[in-house]
Amino acid sequence: MSRFYSTRYYLSLIPILLLSAVSAQDYYRQDSIQEVKIYFGYTNWDYRLDTAKAGNEDYILASYCLINGVRFDSVGVKYKGNSSYRAAQVKNPLHIKLDWVRESQNYNKITSMKFGNNFADPSAVREVLCYEILGHYMDCSVANFAKVYVNDQYLGLYSNVEAVNKKFCSDHFGSSEHVFVKGNPDRPSQNSTSNLVYINNDSSKFYALYGMENGIGWYKLIALMDSLKNNINGIPAIVDIDRSIWMHAFNSVFSNYDSYTGSFSQNYYLYEDDFGRFLPVIWDLNMAIGGFPGGTGGAATTIDKVAFFNGETNAARPLIQKILQNARYKKMFTAHVRTFCNEFIANQEYQKIALRLQKMVDSLVRTDPNSLTTYAAFQTSMTAPISSGGGPGQSAPGITTLMEARLNYFKTIAEYNAVPPVIGAPQWSSASPHIGDSIWLNVRITNGTDGFLAYRKNRYDLFTKHQLLDDGLHHDGKAGDGIYGAWMIPGGRKTQYYIYAENNAAGIFSPERAEFEYHVLNATNTFPTLQKGDLVINELMSVNQKTVIDSTDLKYEDWTELYNNSAQDISLEGYYLSDDSANPLKWEFPTGTSIHSKGLLAVWLDEDGNAPGLHANFKLSSSGEMLLLSREDGLVLDSITFGSLSADHSLERCPNGTGSFALTSKPSFLKINCSLTSVDEQEISCRLYPNPASNDVIIDFEKGQPVLAEFIDIQGKMVKREVIAHSGQMIELSGMAQGYYHVRLIDTNGLSLGVLKLIIH
């Protein structure tokens, strides 16, 4: 039961970035050990790091570092951590920022690297082990090990943990620019916690308790806390309930007290999705499995400390309290605890992973010159008690001792032992449904009284939930026969769904790792037959500083332009753009979007997914990456891999729609590419009047044959298309909204005559 980290493969126009991508593809693979060498241009680097840590915890400059032999110049380095940091010790936790000075510098798009020193963990594997387990149930970091050197002095073995940053959010949630909160008080204590307790609407009251990673969003964080206190029914709209339950269940099962659950209520992130909900992310697992003693719920036994429903009545942990006070959520929590125990504890899977990891690092622990524990302690760490490093000073049990104690304790809890329903195999009314059809689910539920079907179009969508009914009225057979029914409308080729059922005592999911895992229903869609080159990426810009402004927020943002080379209009429903070949269905074109024959369509790549118009949920990297245009049936229409582009330069096809890509300092947003002359109205033999116009407009042109006029709004959407039989023909503008438009004129050979500017008032 291993977890694999999906890496992305990119080529680059810059040789050093190409080398980096090849070398870094396995950077977080759990069965590999990384080599990190940091070089300072001075000998008192430790003093400088200590001084920076004691001050504003800022980075200091390293001349360069080598990541598995790949060199990165002028990187930022700092010490990190609270209880794991000591000014007097050599082996302190480290944070390396590759892009601290050079903004585009990255190692396979990794810019931030974090290394733990195995503090309070003689086993050396707690952190890597726990991320391995958690990754089966929640979006979380991946981790492995690294050998770290400074100025060629070997510091020792470190854990190597993926940072939760903008890249993480983009990879897991499809965006990175929304509200992004870190729950970590400046000076953690029982009176200074990130516990989500509402104080008032003054954001300054929270500055010392939370970090606003994107610099915006205090009012939304306060709204979450306000809802937890005053609007319990509104909580599902402002925080992801299922992730919150998984977080609490993990912290409970694996005695992770240095967390939201524990006395300092810290070490978690909240990221806002496209629907305004906060998504919890667990962080910092180096002291899980009892390494940080205590908790907030009192002792369940002398070993496992925390009660099963810890926090149920604790107003100082409202995210736990409100969940456990809801009867259904309480059953879901118990179901998730049971799943953790069945899949990793009762079968001793956790122990197998821990022993495998220990075998891998055994010789490195034995020869670690600055280890915080002894090799003898490492050898007995699975069972022997350890001296804990945080919270109240006391010992903690070894890994297997604690896990066995937790499981034995759970078996004494009535709710844990309650028998949940049994969910049978789902049966659908159609074996080959079409996207958009209404279809019915039949499922046998034994020993159940209630439940629901949840489904969504893709991983970034919200689950829609329909109650399962056994009343004989919902395609469920006879009333009371144990066959339940609910309907669903597949929104995509692979609709994701799960089933939840409960009785008076217990609940269960199918699959049991839902919502993180799900069943998939395959549906069909009828797409037009396209040949290679019919629909292409025509132009893109990754650093837009002054070329074209996005009118929805008045910002200069990344964009791309598509071109339809075919003789048919193409509906773009079921078509996707992505910057990740491992996730080609990252952003779907909205319903109703189409591109006309010989037409252009612009898409803003700006993460403004909820803005009107065409706004993808990702941005392009200024250092280069890929852009992919594909269909949900797996057909790749076009793709391009590119390197770093200068500001306000674009890559465009020459000639328009069919040629190879060329770099240009004169981008042609929604205009003919590689034109030898400007297509501004003043420089072409075409004109329109009156301008501004209201009801109609006249277009004059020199060519004798008819031309096609395409009216394109500021969002890049075609809103009107009309054949002009002769120069001077009047065109009605009825139904067109006020605003700014481009009017593209195309002759009968498909060649652009130019683009005119029109204002409708």
Q: Which domains does the chain have, with CATH numbers?
A: 15-414 (no CATH), 422-522 (2.60.40.10), 527-672 (2.60.40.1260), 677-761 (2.60.40.3080)
User: What is the C-alpha separation between 377 and 386, in angstroms, rounded?
Assistant: 8
Q: Which of 276, 241, 284, 260 is nearest to 196 (CA)?
A: 260
How would DSSP label each residue in 486-499?
EEE---STEEEEEE
User: What is the structure's pLDDT at 305?
Assistant: 66
| SS3 state at 237 | helix
Contacts of the segment 458-461: beta carbons below 8 A, 24+ positions apart = 458/492, 458/496, 458/585, 458/588, 459/174, 459/496, 460/173, 460/174, 460/273, 460/274, 460/586, 460/617, 461/491
For residue 531, pLDDT beyond 70: yes
Distance of CA 128 to the CA centre of its chain: 21
Q: E strands of 511-668, at which residues?
A: 519-522, 535-541, 558-564, 570-571, 575-578, 587-588, 594-595, 600-605, 615-616, 626-631, 636-641, 650-654, 660-664
Question: Tens digits of per-residue pLDDT, 152-179?
Answer: 999 999 999 999 999 999 889 988 889 9
Evaluate whether 683 touches 675 at the Cβ level (below 8 Å): no
User: What is the C-alpha separation between 489 and 148, in angstroms, rounded?
Assistant: 53
Whether the pTM exceeds 0.75: the reply is yes
Tally of CB atoms within 10 A around 499:
26
What tokens were used for 453?
């079907």
User: What is the structure's pLDDT at 714?
Assistant: 66
Kindly state the average pLDDT of the residues 28-32. 90
User: What is the C-alpha separation between 598 and 563, in angstroms, rounded?
Assistant: 7
| SS3 state at 538 | strand
User: What is the C-alpha separation between 305 and 461, in angstroms, rounded?
Assistant: 38
Kindly state the average pLDDT of the residues 320-327. 96
For residue 392, pLDDT beyond 70: no
User: What is the C-alpha separation between 667 and 540, in angstroms, rounded?
Assistant: 9
CB within 8 Å of 280: residues ≥ 6 apart: 138, 239, 240, 243, 244, 247, 260, 268, 269, 270
User: What is the structure's pLDDT at 636?
Assistant: 93
For residue 716, pLDDT beyond 70: no
Tally of CB atoms within 10 A around 241:
19
User: What is the structure's pLDDT at 370?
Assistant: 97
Give CA angle at 275 (269, 280), nearest 5°: 20
Mean pLDDT lowest among 182-196, 236-250, 296-310, 367-381:
296-310
Mean pLDDT lowest among 112-126, 302-316, 473-487:
302-316
For residue 565, pLDDT beyond 90: yes
Higher pLDDT residue, 575 or 654?
A: 575
Evaluate whether 282 touches 247 at the Cβ level (below 8 Å): yes
User: What is the structure's pLDDT at 675?
Assistant: 61
Count of positions (residues) in the chain: 761
User: What is the C-alpha separation between 622 and 115, in angstroms, rounded?
Assistant: 27
| Position 395 confidence tier, pLDDT thresholds 50, 70, 90 | low
| Position 388 confidence tier, pLDDT thresholds 50, 70, 90 | low
Evaluate whether 397 touches 302 at the Cβ level (below 8 Å): no
Kindly state the average pLDDT of the residues 89-97. 97
Evaluate whether 399 touches 291 at the Cβ level (below 8 Å): no
Evaluate whether 505 touches 415 at the Cβ level (below 8 Å): yes
Q: Which of 161, 170, 386, 186 is nearest to 282 (CA)?
A: 161
**What is residue 469's DSSP assignment?**
B
User: What is the structure's pLDDT at 133?
Assistant: 98
Burial class (CB in 10 A: 0-12, 13-18, 19+), 370: middle
Kindly state the average pLDDT of the residues 441-446. 97
User: What is the C-alpha separation between 698 and 686, in angstroms, rounded?
Assistant: 11
Question: What's the mean per-residue pLDDT of the chain?
Answer: 88
Evaluate whether 711 touches 732 at the Cβ level (below 8 Å): no
What tokens were used for 297?
């719920």
Q: Cis peptide before 655, with omega less than 30 degrees from 0?
A: yes
User: What is the structure's pLDDT at 17?
Assistant: 33
The strands making up 752-760's β-sheet, listed across from edge to edge, are 718-724, 707-713, 739-746, 752-760
CB within 8 Å of 713: residues ≥ 6 apart: 719, 737, 739, 740, 741
Give CA angle at 140 (134, 145), nearest 5°: 85
User: What is the C-alpha separation between 315 and 334, in angstroms, rounded?
Assistant: 20
Q: Which of 584, 586, 582, 534 is nearest to 562 (CA)?
A: 534
Q: What are phi and psi of 657, to 5 degrees?
A: 85, -20
User: What is the C-alpha separation between 730 and 294, in angstroms, rounded?
Assistant: 80
Evaluate whether 97 touches 111 at the Cβ level (below 8 Å): yes
For residue 22, what is the enclosing H or E element? Answer: helix 15-24
| Position 304 confidence tier, pLDDT thresholds 50, 70, 90 | low
User: What is the structure's pLDDT at 303?
Assistant: 64
Higher pLDDT residue, 321 or 678?
A: 321
Tally of CB atoms within 10 A around 23:
15
Q: Which of 697, 680, 672, 693 is nearest to 752 (CA)?
A: 672
Question: Tens digits of per-residue pLDDT, 341-382?
Answer: 999 999 999 999 999 999 999 999 999 999 998 999 999 999
Kindly state the average pLDDT of the residues 67-75. 96
For residue 649, pLDDT beyond 90: yes
What is the percent of the chain with per-residue pLDDT over 70, rounded to a whole number?
91
Residue type at position 288: A
| Position 752 confidence tier, pLDDT thresholds 50, 70, 90 | low
User: What is the C-alpha separation between 756 and 606, in angstroms, rounded?
Assistant: 26
Q: What are phi and psi of 76, to 5 degrees?
A: -95, 140
